[in-house]
Structure 1
Amino acid sequence: MRPLISPGLADAWRRVRDQGATRWADRAGGGGVPGWHRPWWEWFRWLPAAVLLAGAVVGFVLPAWISAFPLLAAAPAIAAPLLSLTGTLATGGCALLIGIVEFRLHGREFETAYAVGFTSIVLLTVVAAAINRVAASDRRKLSTARELAEAVQRAVLPEPPPRVGGAAVAARYQAASREAAVGGDFYAIHHTPYGLRILIGDVRGKGLDAVRTVNGLLGAFQAASTHLRDLREVVGRLEERAEGLGADDGGAMSESFATAVVAELDDGLDVLRVANRGHPAPLLVSGGRVRTLAPGAASLPLGLATVGDFGVPVDAYRMPPGATLVLYTDGVTEARDRNGTFYDPVPRLSRPTPPGPDGVLDAIREDLQRHTGGSLRDDVALLAVSRPPPEAPGTAAGEGVVPERLG
């Protein structure tokens, strides 16, 4: 039989699992981030103990004619999806013990009602143990699927080198907490004869179709960045590739698209040009100030040129020494807290952050984890590019400088 997973992908998965799959959780979860707290649903693990306690109160405190057996019998069933097999059996054993103590405490004769009650506890404990095994198997399969999805994503999106074309670079990717499908977030950065070319985007949908679209767009971006001088031509080539991928799906152009930001830094890392195709606006962080690089004109996502062609608007900005360009996907800004409030990275970036792109992204990531309580509903991709600070002694990087939009 033909293997479902290629050896190369399996190796990539093992490397991610053994070396890097838990890096996000270690740094941004329980690995010492101040203010981190457990997700609210983990408190449900105490529910079986609470039911046992309620059963004990009913059996030992309330009048004898009030039976505690309904609560005691329910405890192992409640424990089955929440605890381990040992915890489920222990819950059933405790329920049985409480029932026996209640029976002895009240000094009653062994009646049919007690026989039914004890039998119910034993049978429900056995059934609960079986349910627990099925649930544990499903959890393992889901965990494996999530790890595999992240391995595929990392194989498609290898981490960029720390320096590209004189600029410091960092990237982060995190799969959604509740998803087991490969996401459509992507990014790339290349040093070309025309400067530093940067791409970040998000393909509609998930799964193998999203991976195929991401691969196609990343390949087209690499080729176009190397051979095309004008940034508008690079975006045009990506548009053609997105349309071609949509045609391969049966011509459903309006249902296959990708939002993206295509940016360019000249060789001196002084001038930044940005073409935004319906994507969240990048942020330019400099001297403790944050500027949202909102496009001057609206533009449709890649793959929707047939809906309306508005050209390829390109905005230009001055990038001060020491400034950091932050690009991200909508998984960041669409993340919510328990009250439904969307996350905004600007307030965090307006406060002091560790130096360099890694420090900036870690600050966003930790703040995002605090905001969401550790649960992400959508994949998150982050990319940061920093211009080196000035070498003159005593000069603060970008201090007091507001990034300037060029005409």
Structure 2
Amino acid sequence: MVMGLRRPSSGRRASPPGPDTSEAAAGEPRIGSLALALSLLLLTAGVVVLDVFTGDGLPLVPLMIVLPALASVFCTVRQTTWVAVWVVLAVVASQLASAGSFWDVVLLIGFTALACGLGVAACAARIRHATEVARLRSAAVALQRQILRPLPVLTRQVSAYGLYEPIEEDRFVGGDIYEVVQSPHGTRVIIGDVQGKGLPAIGVGFAALGAFREAAVREADLTAVAGAVEDAVVRHNVFSAETGEVDRFVTALLLGFDDGERVRCVNCGHLPPMLLHDGAASAVTLHRTSVPLGMAELSDEPRTAEWIGLPPGGALMVYTDGVTEARDPAGAFYPLDERLKRWAGCEPGEVLHELQADLQQFSGGVRRDDVAVLVLNRPTSGHDRAAPGGGGRTGSSRK
């Protein structure tokens, strides 16, 4: 269920969240039925042989009642039931062959059946709980995706290609946000990262995005757009405090594109963009960095905007810390500056494709944060330019 790279040449609609694979996986066996049967046969044979050698003084077959409990941790309900039935039959057979008293045999068989039944019930409870957790996790990721616009997005001033990979583990679901809005004042872009994880972080991200979408069209000045998002985050924190939630902030980078060769930028504690131009990649130096959104009252200085250059043929790459804080198995951070130089001369879609594959290989497939990346460049004369509001709900904005 990963929303990966989308290219404008696909011509396909942005696909909705896929089938609930995490929910299906909750009830899948962690051990094959054939391997389970062979293991059970070998274990039973070993216990019976030991039981014969130890004699009647130390019966070992009844100790097999622990097997359903172990199976309930790794197996499906059906597999656990097979194990339980096998253990009951093995104990019954061993007791019928013994010289014990009638009531001793009945009590032991009854206790075995009870223990095996509890093992099956425990397995059913485990799978039911895992399924419920998987549903909640999938709902959180689906909600996160519905909030964000499908990529790419094409406007009059910008072609925005993107990579977005949300974490699907419930405790790690993050609040990475992005948006591209065509306005009467040019194209406005935001990329941000909500502090914290889980559904509360998604709620803050939704509040920030809603405010940005309105203010980007309404406000002529980019700092006023940042102020509107700031107010929305503060209001959300006030509301959340009434339900016992902690205050959260949003690191964000706001960009304003017009028809010139410079880009307006307001940095709210976010990572600076990278400039891809003439086969080189370099970090853009930002001289005016303010506090994250939701923390303006802690600073005496108002937010200010600055201009950064975007030469013809160049592209700006903006991203969240899910990229820079990705780690390899040894704990080293992902060297974005170094790796990006390899693909700086490629097309935006190819840059994102290579970055996605390289991140996967570098981290060994283990991620602990969302990944959001946008590559922004000017539309070329060979591409159709999107209508205001660019992008829509399709994977292609061409007409």
TM-score strictly above 0.5: yes
Contact 1:275–1:315 (Cα < 8 Å) also in 2: yes
User: Is 2:306 aligned against 1:306?
Assistant: no
Alpha-carbon shift at residue 355 of structure 1 (Å) = 5.2
Match of 2:316 in 1: 325
Percent of pairs with identical residues: 29
1:333-391 CA deviation, whole Å, 9 max, x = no partner? 33444444444444443334895444333333333333444443333333332345798
Instruction: Calculate the TM-score normalised by the size of structure 1.
Output: 0.68
CA shift in 2, pair 1:228/1:19, >3 Å: closer
Equivalent of residue 81 in structure 2, options 89, 94, 99? 89
CA shift in 2, pair 1:90/1:253, >3 Å: closer
Alpha-carbon shift at residue 199 of structure 1 (Å) = 0.1
Match of 1:142 in 2: 133
Q: What is the CA–CA distance in structure 2 between the aligned matches of 1:330 and 1:216, rounded to whole Å?
A: 21
Alpha-carbon shift at residue 181 of structure 1 (Å) = 8.7
Match of 2:268 in 1: 277
Contact 1:321–1:390 (Cα < 8 Å) also in 2: no
Equivalent of residue 384 in structure 1, options 370, 375, 395? 375
The farther-off stretch of 255-264 and 45-54 is: 45-54
1:203-243 CA deviation, whole Å, 9 max, x = no partner? 33456654553343223323332343433333233334333
SS at match of 1:291: strand
CA shift in 2, pair 1:208/1:96, >3 Å: closer
Match of 1:59 in 2: 47
CA shift in 2, pair 1:352/1:249, >3 Å: closer
Q: Any residues of structure 2 matched to 1:228-243 within 5 Å, and which?
A: 228-243=219-234
Match of 2:188 in 1: 197
CA shift in 2, pair 1:76/1:341, >3 Å: farther
Alpha-carbon shift at residue 130 of structure 1 (Å) = 1.0
CA shift in 2, pair 1:289/1:60, >3 Å: farther
SS at match of 1:125: helix
Q: Any residues of structure 2 matched to 1:152-163 within 5 Å, and which?
A: 152-163=143-154
Match of 1:219 in 2: 210
Match of 1:11 in 2: none
Contact 2:163–2:373 (Cα < 8 Å) also in 1: yes
The farther-off stretch of 281-290 and 127-136 is: 281-290
CA shift in 2, pair 1:137/1:359, >3 Å: farther
SS at match of 2:73: coil
Flag structure 1 segments of 5+ consecutive residues without an equivalent.
1-17, 26-41, 392-407
Match of 1:184 in 2: 175
CA shift in 2, pair 1:130/1:357, >3 Å: farther
Contact 1:323–1:386 (Cα < 8 Å) also in 2: yes
1:79-133 CA deviation, whole Å, 9 max, x = no partner? 21322212223344566688899x69xxx85668998887666544322221121
Q: What is the CA–CA distance in structure 2 between the aligned matches of 1:267 and 1:178, rounded to whole Å?
A: 42
User: Is 2:21 aligned against 1:21?
Assistant: no
SS at match of 1:135: helix
CA shift in 2, pair 1:117/1:51, >3 Å: farther
Give the AA of the match of 1:171.
G
* Residues matched between the structures, number: 356
Alpha-carbon shift at residue 189 of structure 1 (Å) = 0.7
Alpha-carbon shift at residue 71 of structure 1 (Å) = 7.4
Considering Cα pairs closer than 8 Å and 6+ residues apart, tell me whether 1 or 2 has the greater RCO.
Answer: 2
Match of 1:128 in 2: 119
CA shift in 2, pair 1:43/1:208, >3 Å: closer
CA shift in 2, pair 1:319/1:92, >3 Å: farther
Following superposition, which runs of at least 4 residues in structure 1 exceed 6 angstroms of deviation?
Answer: 60-63, 96-101, 112-120, 251-254
Alpha-carbon shift at residue 163 of structure 1 (Å) = 1.6
Give the AA of the match of 1:139.
A
Instruction: Calculate the TM-score normalised by the size of structure 2.
Output: 0.70
1:3-35 CA deviation, whole Å, 9 max, x = no partner? xxxxxxxxxxxxxxx94324999xxxxxxxxxx
Q: What is the CA–CA distance in structure 2 between the aligned matches of 1:376 and 1:198, rounded to whole Å?
A: 26
